[in-house]
Structure 1
Amino acid sequence: MRRRHLMAAGSAAPALALPTLARPALAQSAPEIRWRMTSSFTKVLDVTYSTGEYFARLVSEMTDGRFRITPFAAGEIVPGLQALDAVTQNSVEMAHTGGLFFTGKDPAFAFTTTVPFMLNPRQQAAWLYHGGGNDMLNRLLKDYNVYGLPLGNTGNQMGGWFRKEIKAVSDLSGLKFRVAGLAGNVMAKMGVVPQQIAPGDIYAALERGTIDGVEYIGPYDDSKLGFEKVARYYYYPGWGEGGAVFHAFVNLDRWNELPKSYQAVLTAASGAATQWMLAQYDWKNVEALYRLVANGTQLRAFPNEVLDAFYRTTQDVFAEMSAQSPRFKELLESQVAFRDRSYGYHQVADYSFDSMMLRIRRAAR
């Protein structure tokens, strides 16, 4: 009876009820913010570009529309390779881009995306979020008045498209090759003439013969850009990019002005969008590769001689850059230590599982 009496009293006395923390009340305390986000990617590259759109949509939905970010494709505000400068100068509040495009400013930028012979996508996520990677990279970005949030991962990339077969290291000599990041430094030491070209301009350069080959991402995007029309040989593995992380670069002053709740929204939305991109590529690259091969693309594995030469040259590049930049050395040592330790685990986990499944699949045919 006592319990029923209290319940009845509670229902009869709305003035004594708990205060309603209604969403409208919370929304009124949150500022309305409108930002622009320039992209280094064109709309043709629907996975990479749409990841920025997905991120912006999440931010809007998580704030009941009070924080809205409008994405702009490469060239609509600034060219794709000027995204970092636009954020640094506060021409736009943020950018969706790849840090490896800016290694000319500081080679340590490569670690915001990927460096040769280093981490796969799962290792990158572990290093960034639990190995101190995000904090180390944001110390670098602070020098450019930028705060960074991982915003996308392509998964393991392909080795690139070539007009002729690569059977030996000597076949690389003199090739004009579109490549980004430190892989370009490595290839230059091996006689290649690396070219830094924004994604939207690659096909035209390949078609005109300005370049002899190209490394971009993987089967889905590469076929979207039509590389198979002008280059026949498609090489793997992607030794230069075990899995490229893209970033949201936010103007540091604008980031610091945000309420903590909005900073948390951006962080959560960027994490969700990163997984969304990786899952899209893992889904779409499968059928894209089958289509390319069915239509005449010649799939080739780099000879071990070539891969070993890439690896040795990479170590030379790492040594040179570490001697020049303490920050590069710090980031490299952090990633190498984690990579070497984690492969002890992955060898008995993922690698053995994948090897088992491939063996069983072959035997079942």
Structure 2
Amino acid sequence: MTTRRKFLTSAGAGALAAPLATPALAQSTITWRMQTYAGAALAEHVIKPAVDMFNKIAGDRMQIELFFADQLVPTGELFRAMQRGTIDAVQSDDDSMASPTEVTVFGGYFPFASRYSLDVPVLFNQYGLNEIWDEEYSKVGVKHISAGAWDPCHFATKDPIHSLEDLKGKRVFTFPTAGRFLTQFGVVPVTLPWEDIEVAVQTGELDGIAWSGITEDYTVGWADVTNYFLTNNISGAWAGSFFANMDRWNELPEDLQTLFRVCCDQSHYYRQWWYWGGEASLRVNGTKMQLTTIPDAEWQQVEDAALVFWDEIAAESPTKAKVVEIFKKYNADMAKAGRPYRYT
């Protein structure tokens, strides 16, 4: 693994980390460096189209250089690098980039906070999460620009999972908060650089991955090294955001701020249909992983444990309690609304 990391740093950085190609720029062109949580293959979908669009429209006025996972700094240092101005903008979840805010724990996969990808933008835009995130990040010199949904969280494993017992002792790459939750079921969370995951599964350092849905498993190569996909998930959608250094954001003219927001929204829209359609299509037509399922009655233990976990998080601070109350209110509303919002 050390050799692979050294190779990625020395040999790979020049090829993989190359920023988006841009024409010769005027001296007055504003340039930003943006790093995403995603590796090169995944970034082709979750961020590069939006950055390409921004650069094409902004032209000589502004250009964004895009870097992939861990290429400028490790993902866990993204927040600090952005806060210092080493990086101008970031696409990540709060949890992975270790942001020092009261809402960090809710980024990525907060257990069962959402059932479907549309839940995330509704929570932010109609239930008040945008205002809470804006306040929290403004305190630490970072602009929270826009939140959106990604894929649901499933296990991709080398050995089949048919029961909760099968999860015990499994060394799994996952997000910090998801890992904290899953330990009660015997899962052993492992933290590694994103680019090392495929090799770690091949060498036996990892037994599986709980970092994505099946679309990413196929896109980034994890479906080539795992044999089984568990259809039960611990969250309906990953919650991630676009962020910027506050000073850099405030220096932008209003129209460029607006353009950046529009391109972020385009990115959120692209992911809505890319993941939603991809998850279904690959379950039906995919050939690389066999589907397994834990029976609903047994999986209910996990869903019940999530509500206990919510209350534990809420007890940690007033802000966390406010977010948890929003989750409870939202999910209660969806249950009352019935089909198609909730089926159970």
TM score, norm. by length of structure 2: 0.82
**Residue 92 of structure 1 is aligned with which of 79, 87, 95?**
87
Distance 2:52 2:174 in 1: 31
Q: Structure 1, residues 156-191: CA drift from partner, whole Å, max 9, x if none?
A: x25212233333333222221111142211111222
* Residue type of the alignment partner of 1:218: G
Contact 2:92 2:242 in 1 (8 A): yes
- Mapping 1:132-147, distance limit 5 Å: 132-147=128-143
Query: Which residue number in structure 1 is paired with residue 238 of structure 2?
Result: 244
Change (3 A) 1:306 1:83: farther
Is the 8 Å Cα contact of residues 107 and 182 (structure 1) preserved in structure 2? no
Note the C-alpha offset of 1:286: 4.0
Q: What is the DSSP-based 3-state SS (H/G/I as helix, E as strand, rest coil) of the residue aligned with 2:86? A: coil
Higher helix proportion: 1
Deviation at 1:97, TM superposition (A): 1.5
User: Partner of 1:5 in structure 2?
Assistant: none
Note the C-alpha offset of 1:259: 2.3
Describe the superposition over 1:103-150 as per-residue Cα deviations: whole angstroms up to 9, x where unpaired: 585572143444211222212111212222111112222343211223
- Is there any run of 5+ residues in structure 1 with no aligned partner, and where? 1-30, 356-365
Check if 1:122 corresponds to 2:118: yes
Which position in structure 2 is the counterpart of 1:275? 269
- Tell me if the contact between 1:116 and 1:314 (Cα under 8 Å) persists in the aligned partners: yes
Q: From 316, 320, 335, give the equivalent of 2:327.
A: 335
| 1:90 positional shift | 1.0
**Residue identity matched to 2:62:** F
Structure 2 equivalent of residue 167 of structure 1: 162
Q: After alignment, is 51-60 or 204-213 more displaced?
A: 51-60
One-letter code aligned to 2:335: Y
- Closer, same or farther: CA 112–134 of 1 in aligned 2, 3 Å: farther
CA distance in structure 2 between the aligned counterparts of 1:306 and 1:86, rounded to whole angstroms: 43
Counterpart of 2:41 in 1: which secondary structure?
Answer: coil
Amino acid aligned to 1:135: E
Q: What is the Cα-based RMSD across aligned positions, in Å? A: 2.6
Pair 193,37 (structure 1): closer, same or farther in 2 beyond 3 Å? same
Q: Which residue number corresponds to residue 217 of structure 1? A: 212
Question: Do 1:185 and 1:317's aligned partners in 2 also have CA atoms closer than 8 Å?
Answer: no
* 1:31-75 deviations in Å (ceiling 9; x for gaps): 741111012111122xx4443222223323443441211111123
Identity, in percent, stands at 19
Which deviates the most, 227-236 or 213-222? Answer: 227-236
One-letter amino acid matched to 1:207: Q
Partners of 1:40 and 1:81 within 8 A in 2: no
Is the partner of 2:226 in helix, strand or coil? coil
1:316 positional shift: 2.7
Residues 153 and 237, structure 2, Cα contact 8 Å, conserved in 1: no
Inter-partner Cα distance in structure 1 for 2:336 and 2:193: 37
Give the Cα–Cα distance (whole angstroms) in 2 for the partners of residues 190 and 106 of structure 1.
28
CA distance in 1, matches of 2:193, 2:44: 14
Whole-Å Cα distance in 2 between the matches of residues 231 and 311 of structure 1? 25
2:106 equivalent among 111, 114, 123: 111
1:227 maps to 2:222: yes
Distance 1:105 1:164 in 2: 36
